[in-house]
Structure 1
Amino acid sequence: MQRRGLLTLMASAPLWASGCAALADGRAAEASPATLRGTGDLGVVIQRARGAVTVVNTSDRSLLGEITGLGDLSHASVVFSRDGRYAYVFGRDGGLTQVDLLRERIVHRVMQAGNSIGGAVSADGTLVAAQNYVPGGVKVFDAKTLELLADLPATYGNGQRSRVVGLVDLPQRRFAYSLFDADAICIADCSDPTRPRVHTLEGIGRQPYDALVTPDGRHYIAGLFGEDGLAMVDLWEPQPKVRRILAGYGRGQQPLPVYKMPHLRGWAVAGRHAYLPAIGRHEVLVVDTTTWQEVGRIPVAGQPVFVMARPDGRQVWVNFAVPDYDRVQVIDTPSQRVVDTLRPGKAVLHMEFTPRGDTVWISCRDDHLVRVIDTATRQTLATLAVDAPSGIFFTARAQRMGF
């Protein structure tokens, strides 16, 4: 019995050391709440002008700390480890930084390219992939150490390099991405990252500029900047091929100048419909996801940038390019009409819903604040001071394909 008791005490020692403090009379005190924190209600806000991120708590609607030294974040993107503890920050200068959200510090940082615009984490959480403009291609890293495992140059023509956009994770350690300059979509199988296999679909349409994968992982859809329409790949087919959808949605209308490229990863799939930003138009397209045919259009205040569904799909929130980027509109999906127009602040750059959609966090760059709004009442619940905020990313993304 004494030996069993000693073994039990030895096994519990790490938990005792990290979770309790011994008192003089032998009792144990619980650790301070500041020392124990789950990752499910954490997130980061990009400070685009300072090369820093602010760590936030979405339940308390509070700022926890700041992590600096992340380089050029003028166009930054973030993905998370599967347990939500680590954020991987992709900077415009090609820097990839692994950040510990609990300890609020940099763990690893590598300068992996000359110009990077985002990345993805593999389905099993072991790989981090970066999409690069310069040099054009994708690099794959070990998620724990940021050791380079694979380099996938996006070559075409006579050895030219294409800018890579629309990188998403797929099941079974695969990734899909688009080549802006080569008019192609690539599917990379990194089951063995030392021997990656890349399947390229060419002639998909002119200048794919961003893309998404549907929540079930079946359809990869790339928007086309060079022409009306989108390119879609059914990834469940034995031999995936490209299908054009929504071809000519702007046909017969006067083209408008595009003030800011829409971000398609924010496209909303709500119920059986997808809500998509129409390039250069003051409209949100409504698409039936069973037929991939357009079934409606919703007039909005300006050129949509992000079109994002509340997690329950009942609402879709839209922000806009200049000169309308002080506004946010709310679409009611059953009626498919705008039911509210908000003016949360100057230069609204991004929105992010809490995991169950009770609030939405909105970055207002020129007001240097993040506004937290109740999605039911549209009332402001908190206003948080953040220097030049842009992207907002919550750890719930770690459990969503394509985010």
Structure 2
Amino acid sequence: MTRLAALFLCSALAMPALADDLRATGDLGVVVERATGSVLIVDQSEHAAIGRIEGLGDLSHASLVFSSDERFAYVFGRDGGLTKIDILTQKIVNRVVQAGNSIGGAISDDGKLVAVANYEPGGVKIFDADTLAELYHIPAEGKALGLEDAPGRRFVFSVWETGESKIVDFSGAEPKVTTLENIGAEPYDALVTDDGRTYIAGLFGEDGLSAIDLWAEVPEAKKILPHYGRGQEEMPVYKMPHLEGWAKAGDQIVLPAVHHHEVLWIDSRSLEETGRTQVHGQPVFAMARPGGRHVWVNFAHPDNDTVQVIDTMSHEIIGEMVPGPAVLHMEFTSRGTEAWVSVRDANKVVIYDTTSLQPIGEIAAESPSGIFFTARAHRLGL
């Protein structure tokens, strides 16, 4: 190689790619379009949709998780579909229909395993995050719900019919399954606290919740909040609260009450109730703005056009917005400067400034539901 050719080669290797060819993932998100089997790829800074990916099946109750590098999203469809999408190329990488009816999933803390909770045939299936090859089937005698990731390459889920929770540990050569029986009647959803210590399952068949200390040498389930749930003044439930919408703010947790127009305040250490706030309707999500200063709440039908903002110090409502009919989901930008709100029946996502509580942007979307930003890739239980 001549000296001149070598200089040209070194210059080419040192030359950065054109800026127009690069896009970072940290500013991106995915909006589920539940009626059309598609998702929008959105840019937070631009307040814009930058692409649409179609062909994802039944997304009527869809959720997703991100790979640890934020590039790929794993979409869990109600039809049993597990779809891996590339949010940079805006294409489907792989798709498998792994069950007849599924209800969400999780990704392991090392990003290597994707788990899917199934109604039919029941239990949880585990897939290689790179190839989507099925690796394991963890059977259960009923519908698997409340599937969450936990530290140490573990997953935890509950079973509706049998009232049990299972901890599945993949830290060894083969999975180890620990079954905790009689956690309560009809567990329907769950969460893992942000420190990875406590798994909490909601119970539809009885009042109260079930808590499992995942740090314990021998984990056991214990009942907490015995008066949380149906109570004596039972009201119809139009939509069950989502426990992953629990808000953790300092030493407090706020959760949506079942059947009632209230949110409950809980001491995060003792898990005992400390207060209640009357709200606009039956709450579905109670979500903490990053930093924990405020909690945003949306509601079930017929009050689902409204969002309320609660101060976590006073427990008082400080703001109320009406984004439009059928507010389904909210998502904060990573530092909490904005809240993005999906308004299904108005076919739009409304963007709010979280200080002024004023709308600052809007994106057209087809029946939008879940909004997921890539910052979730670095948080437990999401």
The TM-score range, normalised by the shorter chain, is over 0.9
Q: What TM-score results when the alignment is normalised by the length of structure 2? A: 0.96
For 1:186, the equivalent position in structure 2 comes to 166
For 1:394, the equivalent position in structure 2 comes to 373
Question: 271, 279, 283: which is aligned to 2:258?
Answer: 279
Measure the CA separation in 1 of the matches of 2:36 and 2:347: 12
Question: 310, 314, 331: which is aligned to 1:331?
Answer: 310
- Establish whether residue 167 from structure 1 lines up as the match of residue 153 from structure 2: no
Measure the CA separation in 2 of the matches of 1:11 and 1:195: 50
Q: Secondary structure at the match of 1:46?
A: strand
Measure the CA separation in 2 of the matches of 1:7 and 1:84: 36
Measure the CA separation in 2 of the matches of 1:398 and 1:90: 16
For 2:123, the equivalent position in structure 1 comes to 137
Q: What TM-score results when the alignment is normalised by the length of structure 1? A: 0.91
Deviation (angstroms), 1:210: 0.4
For 1:110, the equivalent position in structure 2 comes to 96
Measure the CA separation in 1 of the matches of 2:349 and 2:93: 26
Q: Secondary structure at the match of 1:265?
A: helix
Return the letter of the residue paired with 1:249: Y
Question: 315, 322, 338: which is aligned to 2:301?
Answer: 322
Q: Secondary structure at the match of 1:136?
A: coil
* C-alpha contact (below 8 Å) 2:261/2:282 kept by paired residues: yes
* C-alpha contact (below 8 Å) 2:206/2:230 kept by paired residues: no
Question: 60, 68, 86: which is aligned to 2:46?
Answer: 60
* C-alpha contact (below 8 Å) 2:58/2:79 kept by paired residues: yes
Cα distance change of structure 1 residues 85 and 180 upon mapping to structure 2, 3 Å threshold? same
For 1:98, the equivalent position in structure 2 comes to 84
Return the letter of the residue paired with 2:107: V
Return the letter of the residue paired with 2:150: L
* C-alpha contact (below 8 Å) 2:209/2:228 kept by paired residues: no
Return the letter of the residue paired with 1:138: V
The Cα offsets for residues 31-81 of structure 1, whole Å up to 9 and x where unpaired, read as: 143x20110111110011110000000121111000000000011001000
Deviation (angstroms), 1:402: 0.3
The Cα offsets for residues 128-167 of structure 1, whole Å up to 9 and x where unpaired, read as: 1111111111111111110111111112xxxxxx111111
Deviation (angstroms), 1:249: 3.4
Measure the CA separation in 2 of the matches of 1:267 and 1:396: 18
Measure the CA separation in 2 of the matches of 1:91 and 1:124: 23
Measure the CA separation in 2 of the matches of 1:126 and 1:149: 11
Q: Secondary structure at the match of 2:244?
A: helix
For 2:67, the equivalent position in structure 1 comes to 81
Cα distance change of structure 1 residues 252 and 359 upon mapping to structure 2, 3 Å threshold? closer
Deviation (angstroms), 1:7: 11
Structural mapping, 1:40-55, within 5 Å: 40-55=26-41
Structural mapping, 1:287-366, within 5 Å: 287-366=266-345
Deviation (angstroms), 1:251: 7.5
Measure the CA separation in 1 of the matches of 2:240 and 2:206: 14
Cα distance change of structure 1 residues 170 and 12 upon mapping to structure 2, 3 Å threshold? farther
* C-alpha contact (below 8 Å) 2:63/2:105 kept by paired residues: yes
* C-alpha contact (below 8 Å) 2:116/2:124 kept by paired residues: yes
Question: 156, 165, 169: which is aligned to 1:176?
Answer: 156
Question: 208, 220, 241: which is aligned to 2:220?
Answer: 241
> What residue ranges of structure 1 are gaps of 5+ in the alignment?
21-30, 156-161
* C-alpha contact (below 8 Å) 2:230/2:258 kept by paired residues: no
> What residue ranges of structure 2 are gaps of 5+ in the alignment?
none
Deviation (angstroms), 1:308: 0.5
Measure the CA separation in 2 of the matches of 1:309 and 1:60: 24
Measure the CA separation in 1 of the matches of 2:322 and 2:285: 16
For 2:191, the equivalent position in structure 1 comes to 212
For 2:359, the equivalent position in structure 1 comes to 380
Give me the CA root mean square deviation. 1.8
- Establish whether residue 221 from structure 1 lines up as the match of residue 211 from structure 2: no
For 1:151, the equivalent position in structure 2 comes to 137
Tell me the matched-pair count: 380
For 1:27, the equivalent position in structure 2 comes to none
Measure the CA separation in 2 of the matches of 1:247 and 1:391: 31
Question: 107, 113, 122: which is aligned to 2:108?
Answer: 122
Cα distance change of structure 1 residues 195 and 377 upon mapping to structure 2, 3 Å threshold? same
For 1:270, the equivalent position in structure 2 comes to 249
Measure the CA separation in 1 of the matches of 2:48 and 2:147: 31
Measure the CA separation in 2 of the matches of 1:282 and 1:293: 20
Measure the CA separation in 2 of the matches of 1:342 and 1:255: 28
Identity in percent? 57
Deviation (angstroms), 1:248: 2.0
Cα distance change of structure 1 residues 144 and 12 upon mapping to structure 2, 3 Å threshold? farther
